[in-house]
Each structure stands twice: as structure tokens, then as C-alpha cells.
Structure 1
Amino acid sequence: MDASAIQRAITRITYEILERNHGADQLAVIGIYSRGVILAERIVERIAELEHRQVELGALDITTYRDDKVVPNHAEKTKIDFSVQDKKIILVDDVLYTGRSCRAAMDAVLERGRPTSIQLAVLIDRGHRELPIRPDYVGKNLPTAQTETVKVSVNELDDADCVTIF
């Protein structure tokens, strides 16, 4: 995907979120570090343009919630300055692969309260799930071999917007 394809995918995901949720009432968007946070910011900006209102935005560090990785002396980066109670939470990640990151993110959100719903938006769904997790919003389904790597690059971190497989 190039920059324009990513932008179109973000716009489409935003419209689908607003349509499924009947607008932006009680919506909150939480991005999973690191590129999911950037994509979440872009979705929140599009919602503001379309709905003329700001929805709450959070950033979630799932490192301590992972069941497959242990990082000693980890500095927590989560920034969720609102209550998730009774909100429609949209979790945003760059690539959905095994589902373990999304499971960890749901655990982290549920530890903070009981939202009305948790929905998942991903830029890329590459398959190969290990857990029964399905995204609600997908920018692009990208079938890959398990030996391949999908890299999402964003201007804010990588000086380019693109998706590559190697």
C-alpha cells in the first residue's frame, strides 16, 4: 500500500465506524503502541472533520499484558485520560496477525472498566490467527505466508506512509 491507499483505508474505516455506531456518541478510540496510536489519531481527526466533534483518544501500551513476551524494567506508556465505562471503545492496531496483541489490549481496557462494547479496527489483516479474534474494520486483507513480515510505515515515525511485505 502506498500513502494514498492508506489514507483511503483510514477514511473508509472511519465511515464504517460512524455508520455502525450511528455517529460518534459515546465513542472513544484507543490506539495500540506504536503505529496503532498514529492510525487512531488519524481516525479521530477524520471523525472530527465528518462529525464536527472531538471523540476521546487514548494510547495503550500492551507490553505488560502480553502472554508471549516478557520485558523486564518496562516503562509503561499507556495514556488513557478518560473512563472507558459505558463507552464504545474502538481499538486500533496496524497489523492483525495471531490475535495476541488484541487479546492483551482487551485485557488492559477491561481492567479499567466495563465498556458498552470493544470493536477492533486494523489497517492490515494478514491472517494466521492463534486466538478467535476477528476485526470489525479492516483496511486491507493481505494473505501472507507465516515466514513473511508485514511492515507498516507512517510519516510520523518512519518518514513515509506505506505497507511492505518482506
Structure 2
Amino acid sequence: RKHIVNKSSKCMPLLTRRAKKQAPRWKRWVYSWWDQAVEDVPLDIDLVEGSIEGLEPHAVCCETAEGKRRVDADLLCLATGYRQRFPFLHGSTEEEGKMRPDDPLPTQHFVIDPMKPRMAYIGFVRPNVGAIPPMSELQAMWWSQKLEGKLVGEASKLDETCYRLKDSRLPYGVDYGYYMFAL
């Protein structure tokens, strides 16, 4: 079974709108029962199940069960699970038959790399206490503000020193309160 958990009811009708239009009549009726009309919104959210083969400036190349697929995209959101492995960025995930450790996270608040500011890594930090979803929401808001040029100044080394956990088994373990404050 596949489930989509989404807090935004305004976003729900956009999810796989193309697939909904191609669905059997009875399924379209079910979708119309809970989806609000958003025909005036000129965008779609495509869910692609497969592995990424490469990134282009405005598209993503994927390998799916149906074959290779190129998807035009303004935004790419990857649900990678509990392991952070990005073979399309860092090469193969295997070294001599053994799985390697997680790929590194970027330097600015574990969210962005200054060399690739339009690529964000949301939801990977692990707090000492507290929940990850509110941290992810704040990371997304921080990144949005950063993209729009609305942030004043840069993250200081003091911020990172305060929120990075010293004896964490994970290099991206953070103190919840300090991290949220720094963002």
C-alpha cells in the first residue's frame, strides 16, 4: 500500500492530478468527492517511484519500473527513508560489496551547501529531544527565506558550535532548542 501523509489540504488536489484524470470513472468520482477544484492552478505535483539517474537544470532523469523517465521539475523532493544516500550526487552506495556510511550533509545548518544553494536537505538532522517534523518545517522556511534573499547575515560558527552535539553517534545530531533558535 502507498499512503500520502500531507497536512496541506490545498496541496492534496495537485498530487498526481494527471493520474487522477486518467483513472477509471469510479475513482475520479471518489477523488472529486474530497478534492477541491483547482483547475486555475497551472502546476502539478508528480510522484515518481524509482531511482534517480541524473539531474538536469530543469529536469530529473529517473529509472522507473516502466523504464527511463525524464520529468520537468521546478522542485525535487526526495523521500529517501532513514538512510541518507544520494548515489546520483556522490557516486555508488557500495564499496567492495559493503554498504558505506551515510552521505555527508551540507555545511549551512545541515540544509544547504553554499555552492548549491538551490538544493536543500530537509529533515535529516537528529535532535537530542523533540520532534523532527517541526524542525523540517523550520528548515524549509529558512531555506525559502534564503532563496528569496530575505535573511540578514550568515550563520555563525558560534551557532554551529552551540547546536552540534559533541558525543553524538551521528555527525548531524543537534540540540533541538539551540538548532531551532539558530534557524
The TM-score normalised by the length of structure 1 is: 0.26
The TM-score normalised by the length of structure 2 is: 0.24
Q: Quick one: higher RCO (CA 8 Å, sep 6+), 1 or 2?
A: 1
- Between Structure 1 and Structure 2, the one with more strand by share is 1
- Larger Rg, first or second structure (1 or 2): 2
